[in-house]
Structures are given as structure tokens and as C-alpha cells.
Amino acid sequence: MKKTVFKGSGVAVITPFIDGNAIDYPALERILNHQVDNGTDAVVICGTTGESSTLTDAEHRNAISFAVKTVAGRIPVIAGTGSNDTAYFLDLSRYAADAGADALLAVTPYYNKCSQAGLVKHFECVADRVDLPMILYNVPSRTGVNILPETCAELAKHPNIVAIKEASGNISQIMRTAYLCGDELKIYSGNDDQIVPILALGGIGVISVLANCLPRETHDICRFWFEGKHDESLALQLKYHPLIEALFCDVNPIPVKEAMKLLGRCDGSLRMPLTKISGKNEERLHTELANVMPEALIG
């Protein structure tokens, strides 16, 4: 039986900046501790929501090390190390292992892309050389590459490839992946609006944007499901659906950065080419946050 990295809610944590420039490490420390203290089951550092694509190599490495040191073993830290350059993916993954990360999150190659056979070679190259559990990340809307269920089944044969974050949105495809892979490849929802549907297919949790704002509640969607309280789990999924929609009313992480600003957890700044949320979407986001957590808003 392969190791399960975590079960429940993993947060795809933002990277707070100071006016869009340097990483705001004091804010990141507060955010990480807030997550641990409020039930989050794992932290993903330097993922898409963490704006990894605009972090320098030094920032990427420093953020991974900082997260590991701050979390200090209280919950797993999963390092986003995926790249479209296999050699860099390997180098960064080795660094994450040396820094003490508990697992890797590996996005499919983007822009140059590759075939399904290329995906197998790409992921296996790192899994053969870095002794950490690897979570594949399937998000074809961003990368232009879809990991087919048959490819997942081939990759699941590797002892270090243990799970997939599924953000394709294709429930039929996810069902086939679950059918072909069984316990050899655990499934995490990569979309906050599909937590319960994927749990119903045998998924074991979510890697979540929503959890930045609502860590306890996102954890509880999963906890209720695992406790057999399916109605309660679904009720929470539906309750927070309008906020989830608002958090994706613009390119992620634009809305969640604004939400975290409204909650007083960072200054909300982004790295270009991402730009501030539009006025209409900002109003929508403020309204939905106020509907579920009015006491937490500072603006």
C-alpha cells in the first residue's frame, strides 16, 4: 500500500508580497500558522495559487524552506516543483526533498507540452531520482496538456507516484481514472466546486483555493464526508458555492488575493502580468465574503 500524503483539505496557499515585490515572509508565517490552527490537513507551497510562475528560482526555494520550517512537522508540506523543463523539475524537487518537504506537487509540462508518452517519461524521471511521494497535477485549462486515465494507470505503477490533483473538471474522466487506478493513485479534487462529487468517486480530499479564506469549513466538508455525514458535507459544499464562484470570477489567484486583503491577511498585491480585480468582481467578492464571514472583514 502506498503512503497517503494527507486526507482532507490541503490549502493551495497564496504567496503574499510587499507591493507586488518581495515575498512578505511575516505575512506568510501568519497565514501558515492560521491554516495549521484552523484544521487544514496539508499545505501546498508554490503552486498555481502561490504564483509560482513569477517567483524567481531563489524565491521558490526560499519559500519552500520557509514553509517547512514554519509548519515544523505539524501537517505535511507539499512543494510545488513541477516545470515544463524536466531537468529543472528534477533539480527543484531534489532541493525540496533536502529542505524537508513531505511531498511534491508536479504540474504537467506547459507551453512546449508533450505527448502522453512524454508525460510518463517526465514524471518517472523525477520519481526515479527523488524519494518523495509525488502528486500529479492535471490542469489542462492552464497547461494545454491533459493526463489521460490510461496514462494515470501507467504512472500509478511507480511506487513514488501516489496521487493526482484533478482540475480537469471532467467528472467522467476522473471516474475512469478512479476505475483504472484504484488505490494505487489517490485522487484529490483540484476544483473547490467539485469536492463532494470527487469524494463520492472515492477521492480523499481537495487541494483548495477556498481554504485560504475558510480553512476550517473546507476541512469540515471533507471531515463530514469521511464520517458518513454526507448530507452535512453536501450542505457545506452548497453553502459556500457562491463564494467559490466569486473566488474564480477572474483568473486565479486574483480574487483570492483580494479576499485575503479584505480579511487583513496580506496586502493583496500580485505579480504582473496579473492585475487587480475589476470593480464589479471586487464588489461581488466582497458581498459573498460578507455573507459567510462578515465579522472577519476589515474593509
**Nearest 5°: phi and psi at 55?**
-80, 140
Residue 88 bears catalytic tag: no
Q: Which of 95, 137, 188, 240 is catalytic?
A: 137
Instruction: Please report, as a single letter, which amino acid is at residue 255.
Output: P
The C-alpha cell at 160 is 513514488
DSSP code at position 212: G
Burial tier of 244 (Cβ tally within 10 Å: 0-12, 13-18, 19+): buried
Residue 137 bears catalytic tag: yes
Residue appearing with cell numbers 480553512: 215
Contact between 209 and 201 (Cβ < 8 Å): no
Q: Is 219 helix (H, G, I), strand (E, B) or coil?
A: helix
Separation between Cα atoms, residue 215 and residue 39, nearest integer Å: 6
Instruction: Please report, as a single letter, which amino acid is at residue 238.
Output: L
Q: Which of 110, 113, 165, 239 is catalytic?
A: 165
Q: What is the largest CA-CA distance in the chain?
A: 51
Residues annotated as catalytic (active site), given as ranges: 137, 165
